[in-house]
Amino acid sequence: MEQAIGVIDSGVGGLTVAHELMRQLPKERLIYLGDTARCPYGPRSKNEVQKFTWEMVRFLLKKNIKMLVIACNTATAFTLKELQDNLDIPVIGVIQPGARAALKFTKNNHIGVIGTEGTIRSKAYTTALKNINSTIHVNALACPLFVPLIEQGGATGEQALKVVEDTLSPMKKNNHIDTLILGCTHYPLMKDTIQSSIGKHVTIISSSEETARETSAILDIHNLLNSEGEIPKHQFFTTGELTIFRKISKSIFKNSNLHTVSIEKAAIN
Amino acid sequence: MEQAIGVIDSGVGGLTVAHELMRQLPKERLIYLGDTARCPYGPRSKNEVQKFTWEMVRFLLKKNIKMLVIACNTATAFTLKELQDNLDIPVIGVIQPGARAALKFTKNNHIGVIGTEGTIRSKAYTTALKNINSTIHVNALACPLFVPLIEQGGATGEQALKVVEDTLSPMKKNNHIDTLILGCTHYPLMKDTIQSSIGKHVTIISSSEETARETSAILDIHNLLNSEGEIPKHQFFTTGELTIFRKISKSIFKNSNLHTVSIEKAAIN
């Protein structure tokens, strides 16, 4: 199946999902659309997020994608069910794969979740976890400074560690968690800093890695895996500034796969 | 969906998958069938394995299962595709989930696989891995002594470590693997011994844990998860001796969940 996998995000965070898809599924072609011009989605109303998400989906459906990955936590929380019910192709979000991985890793049933204010307020992870196991203890914490810090290129170093230490301190008090879900697709970019703050005894779950892995499973059960050997040419689109999008792409991909990617501007509304 | 998940295995190895299903999906009810009387399937012909597997499947279909888990590597290798094509319910095997997890964990693209002689000879893991990423290096090794050792209750201790050390020595020579798949549902019972022999730098993938996790994903996308809160009563069936099956069940479940399980004898052919 040489058709591409479609990936949508409110901006650049979903590029960590794209990066993992390219690493775990090197024969698959991606078409990525980041709505950078209207990012962030977090503070927007449900109606607005649904409207914007459908605009992105329509853009990708015209490109004949075989599967859709919603690489944005807010869009997943507000549109996953609706898109699954209305599209003829498989649709996956970023919340459930992270929740399922955490349920696999935890030994003491105490799971931490960090994300943007919108994601934490939506209780989407708590719902996903407790829907499967109602005895799970969830410790959820909003980390509003992480995304701006990452977007400014400050994911590592002493300043980052200080921000992370301060933000995570309520979670570390009386902390029983043995598993922590990075409930925002930006956070894998500061995973090392988060790990050194929360401690080595905590298993960190990257929703980006887990979403890529479940995309592989879903393509397989739908007989949609690409069996061709050729390395595909990916297309990344942004609704915003090309220069910034290119710069952040470079920092995420560290140039490893970027020669196989074309980056273009898209008008979707 | 209060219907049960059906789990089949050539004998008792699949109980590690059942154990993980009960841990990761505590609201789901299981009906397990182990064909202990005709175990092992490893040395049997493809035709025979297909015939036996269909007999197990028909037994479970009469019990109105909502999904089928083939918790046996040999049966997966020989019947997965056929069962997926012919049944109206989702079907999952144990090989692909382990392969996908390994592709997620490996950083250096060198993956080891250990299994029974039949599984290694079938090259099912190598095919599953290379089908997704043709640049992966696979180091596959048959470990014919592990299952008999485990069945005799010798999964830990000095004798076990000696057998494991001797068996794994060809894999440890010029060893570049950073990820090792336990390609047999018995092997999680000696995971600690294998880890201490292969070294802490190698991530060990349990196909039992990974299959349970993908079962969760598949139930979710098919809207088949059980949302009821009640702890279910599981039914385990064996075609062989009840006493031995009970004893091994106890050693796997360490009595933790066994009060929710009834164990009965089944005639299926």
Complex prediction ipTM: 0.86
Rounded CA-CA distance A94/A75 in Å is: 9
Burial group, residue A159, by CB count within 10 angstroms (0-12, 13-18, 19+)? exposed
Partner B, chain A 71-110, Cβ-Cβ below 8 Å: 84, 90, 92, 96-97, 100-101, 103-104
The whole-number pLDDT of residue B67 equals 98
Interface A–B counts its CB contacts (< 8 A) at 79
Concerning whether A143 is annotated as a catalytic residue, the answer is no
Residue type present at position A184: C
- What mean pLDDT, rounded, does chain B reach? 92
Which parts of B are annotated binding residues for substrate?
9-10, 41-42, 73-74, 185-186
Tell me the sheet residues that pair with B221. none
Among B41, B61, B43, CA closest to B51: B41
List pLDDT tens digits, range B194-252: 999 999 999 999 999 999 999 999 999 899 999 776 778 999 999 999 988 898 888 88
B133/A212 Cβ within 8 A? no
B230 touches chain A (CB under 8 A): no
Domain boundaries, chain A: 5-93+209-265, 95-207
Q: In this structure, which amino acid lies at residue B255? A: N
Position A135 scores a pLDDT of 93
Q: Facing residues of A264 across strands?
A: A237
Q: Which residues of B touch A26 (CB under 8 A)?
A: 132-133, 135
Cα distance between residue A131 and residue A134, in whole Å: 6
Establish if A133 touches chain B: CB-CB under 8 angstroms.
yes
Q: Provide, rounded to the nearest whole percent, the portion of chain A with pLDDT above 90.
A: 70
Residue from the list B26, B96, B209 with its beta carbon closest to the beta carbon of A104: B209
pLDDT tens across B140-178, in order? 999 989 988 887 777 788 889 999 999 999 998 877 999
Q: What is the CATH number of domain B5-93+209-265?
A: 3.40.50.1860
pLDDT in tens, B43-84: 788 899 999 999 999 999 999 999 999 999 889 989 999 999
Comparing C-alpha atoms, which of B197, A151, A60 is closest to residue A70?
A: A60
Instruction: Tell me if B5-93+209-265 shares its fold with B95-207.
Output: yes
Per-residue pLDDT of chain A (269 residues; tens, 9 = 90+): 589 999 999 988 899 999 999 999 999 999 999 999 998 887 788 899 999 999 999 999 999 999 999 999 889 989 999 999 999 999 999 999 999 999 999 999 999 999 988 889 889 999 999 999 999 999 999 998 998 888 777 778 888 999 999 999 999 887 799 999 999 988 998 999 999 999 999 999 999 999 999 999 999 989 999 977 677 899 999 999 998 889 888 888 876 667 789 999 998 88
All residues of chain A having their beta carbon less than 8 Å from the beta carbon of residue B101 are 213
Alpha helices in chain B (DSSP H): 15-24, 46-61, 73-86, 95-105, 117-122, 124-132, 146-151, 157-172, 191-198, 207-221, 242-253
> What was the pLDDT predicted at B173?
85
pLDDT at residue number A1: 59
Short-list B251, B264, B266, B265, CA closest to B19 = B251
**Cα distances (Å, whole numbers) of residue B78 to A190, A221, B71, B72:** 44, 16, 13, 10
Which CATH architecture is the domain A95-207 placed in? 3-Layer(aba) Sandwich (3.40)
Tell me what pLDDT residue B253 has: 85
pLDDT (tens digit per residue) in B98-140: 999 999 999 999 999 999 888 898 899 999 999 999 999 999 9
Assign residue B64 a region (left: φ > 0; alpha: ψ between -120 and 50; beta: otherwise). Answer: left
A96 closest CB neighbour out of B90, B212, B220: B220
Q: B68 pairs with which residues across the strands?
A: B6, B91
Angstrom distance (rounded) from CA A120 to CA A149: 18
Q: Residue B32: its pLDDT value, please?
A: 97
The label of the residue with tokens 């507000």 reads A78
In the structure, what pLDDT confidence band is assigned to residue B255 with cuts at 50, 70 and 90?
A: low
Amino acid at A49: V
Q: Which of these, A149, A152, A185, lies nearest to A167 by C-alpha position?
A: A149
Q: Which residue has the tokens 């230490």?
A: A165
Any catalytic annotation for residue A184?
Answer: yes
Euclidean distance between CA atoms B159 and B80, whole angstroms:
36
Angle between helices B191-198 and B157-172 in degrees, nearest 10? 50
Of B15, B33, B72, B138, which one is the catalytic site residue? Answer: B72
What pLDDT sits at residue B45?
Answer: 87
Q: Is the peptide bond before B40 cis (omega within 30 degrees of 0)?
A: yes
